[in-house]
Amino acid sequence: MAARLRHLRVPLIVSAVLLVVAVLLGWLVEGADGAAGAAAGVAVVTFSYLLSSVAVAWADSVLPKLVLTVGLATYVLKFSIFGVVMFAVAASGWAGLRTMAAAMICATVAWVTAQVWWTFKAKIPYVEIPSK
């Protein structure tokens, strides 16, 4: 299964860099609540993308026909969790909501961009290469 998850290195590094930058910006803009909101936003997105990657890799290792179903299910679950988290935080009146929302948007764009970049740079054959 490790071979199916080799793409995770780049998005995780990008997420770690974004975490540091977002926390610093959050601190400058809204103080401790802003820093905590930024950290929470990046963490929620990174954790959800990591879990969905593991779920899809597991499905591919068990039964490749499950990949689309598991991928769509994790997509729906992921954005449902994003919504639940945002509504719960908004209802609490927490001051870090704005930076959390901004960090979630930035982390989503950063993760997807890093994964697309990795995919373009990876040497993945598009056809079955016959073994000799």
Q: Where are the chain's structural domains?
A: 42-117
Cα(48)–Cα(45) distance, integer angstroms: 5
Size (the chain), residues: 132
Cα(62)–Cα(105) distance, integer angstroms: 32
Model pTM score:
0.86
Report in angstroms the alpha-carbon separations of 67 from 13, 15, 52, 107.
25, 25, 11, 24
User: pLDDT digit of tens for each residue in the chain (132 aa)?
Assistant: 778 898 999 999 999 999 999 999 999 999 999 999 999 999 999 999 999 999 999 999 999 899 999 999 999 998 898 899 899 999 999 999 999 999 999 999 999 999 999 989 887 766 776 777
- Give me the helices (H) in the chain, please: 9-62, 67-92, 97-121
